[in-house]
């Protein structure tokens, strides 16, 4: 597979991080296999997580093919980049095709990246995750590698203005020990174990983080550490409200479209 886009994108990102003095701490990168397929499962705190989770594999000389919602691929700027880096579009109305594409990549020796929480966690704790990552690892006979990210939420996260040029932000990326699920395992239990490992890695990253938020910046700290981010329960309520609003907006658009089509017949 020719890599005309991905390496320059990584080089550019690292150059920008250096210019902004983004202090990246990498831990556990020796857990990334030098060859062969693997499912990399990261928590999700920001819109920049694709970049930072991908850096977890950089010391091993590996590239990560992320599964990402189809809407990103439809963007006139992001789409060509995502396709050029051979990421995998996920259409929630046709999930079988994206699952098949991920399995093909894994069996071809690629690392496939998954944000198993599906959406950014407003509470900055690990949300409930689905068993899809575990099932992919089992079907492709590849390891499951948990990753924790902390810090990118300060630059761009849900409900906050972008601060992409913010300087001197520490970013922590911790790679955990691989898991090796197999056929016959209780997939739901393995998923719970994966969640626990991710939560443990994230808590480690949060407690060892070198910065403490100012009094007007406590929004990026989880509630359990004294921050003003929503609790998991509050975050779940906000997510439900957002989903309902999105559903209502979609229904309104469809009704408008049908009315226009009906009026033109």
pLDDT score, position 126 = 98
Considering the entire predicted model, what is its pTM?
0.94
Tell me phi and psi for residue 253, to 5 degrees. Answer: -65, -40
Q: Are residues 147 and 241 in the same domain?
A: no
Q: Are residues 127 and 237 in the same domain?
A: no
The CA-CA-CA angle for residues 56, 3, 81, to 5°, reads: 80
CA dihedral 247, 230, 42, 132 (to 10 degrees): -40
Q: Are residues 124 and 174 in the same domain?
A: yes
Question: Residue 100 belongs to a domain with what CATH number?
Answer: 3.40.1130.10
Neighbour order of strands in the sheet with 88-90: 23-27, 170-175, 144-150, 38-42, 111-114, 64-69, 88-90
Give the single-character DSSP code of 33: -
Q: Are residues 58 and 142 in the same domain?
A: yes
For 134-159, letters b (16+ CB in 10 Å) and e give bbbbbebebbbbbbbbbbbbbbbbbe
Counted domains in the chain: 2
DSSP code string of 137-185: HHHHT--EEEEEEESGGGTS-TTS---TT--S-EEEEEE---B---TTS
Q: Are residues 178 and 246 in the same domain?
A: no
Q: Are residues 138 and 165 in the same domain?
A: yes
Range of the domain at 254: 231-264
Per-residue pLDDT reduced to its tens digit, 87-116 = 999 987 777 999 999 999 999 999 999 999
Q: Are residues 138 and 235 in the same domain?
A: no
Q: Are residues 155 and 133 in the same domain?
A: yes
- pLDDT above 90 for 240: yes
Q: Are residues 249 and 143 in the same domain?
A: no
- pLDDT above 70 for 265: no
Give the single-character DSSP code of 223: G
Q: Is residue 54 part of a domain?
A: yes
Per-residue pLDDT reduced to its tens digit, 49-95 = 999 999 999 999 999 999 999 999 999 989 999 999 999 999 877 77
Q: Are residues 19 and 50 in the same domain?
A: yes
Q: Are residues 254 and 201 in the same domain?
A: no
């Amino acid at each position: 597979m020719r890599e005309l886009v991905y390496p320059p994108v990584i080089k550019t990102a690292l150059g920008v991080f250096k210019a902004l003095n983004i202090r990246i701490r990498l831990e556990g990168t020796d857990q990334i296999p030098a060859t062969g397929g693997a499912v990399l499962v990261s928590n999700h705190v920001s819109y920049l997580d694709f970049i930072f989770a991908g850096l977890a594999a950089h010391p091993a000389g590996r590239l990560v093919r992320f599964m990402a919602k189809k809407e990103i691929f439809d963007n006139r700027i992001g789409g060509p980049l995502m396709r050029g880096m051979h990421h995998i579009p996920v259409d929630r109305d046709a999930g079988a095709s994206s699952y098949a594409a991920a399995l093909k990549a894994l069996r071809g020796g690629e690392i496939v990246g998954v944000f198993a929480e599906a959406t950014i966690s407003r509470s900055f704790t690990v949300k409930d995750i689905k068993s899809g990552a575990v099932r992919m690892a089992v079907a492709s006979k590849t390891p499951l590698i948990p990753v924790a990210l902390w810090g990118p939420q300060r630059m761009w996260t849900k409900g906050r203005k972008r601060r992409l040029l913010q300087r001197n932000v520490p970013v922590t990326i911790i790679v955990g020990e691989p898991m090796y699920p197999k056929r016959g395992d209780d997939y739901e239990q393995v998923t719970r174990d994966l969640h626990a490992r991710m939560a443990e890695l994230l808590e480690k990253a949060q407690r060892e983080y070198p910065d403490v938020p100012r009094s007007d910046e406590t929004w990026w700290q989880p509630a359990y550490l004294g921050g003003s981010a929503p609790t998991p329960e509050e975050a779940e309520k906000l997510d439900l409200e957002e989903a309902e609003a999105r559903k209502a907006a979609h229904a309104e658009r469809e009704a408008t479209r049908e009315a226009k089509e009906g009026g033109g017949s």
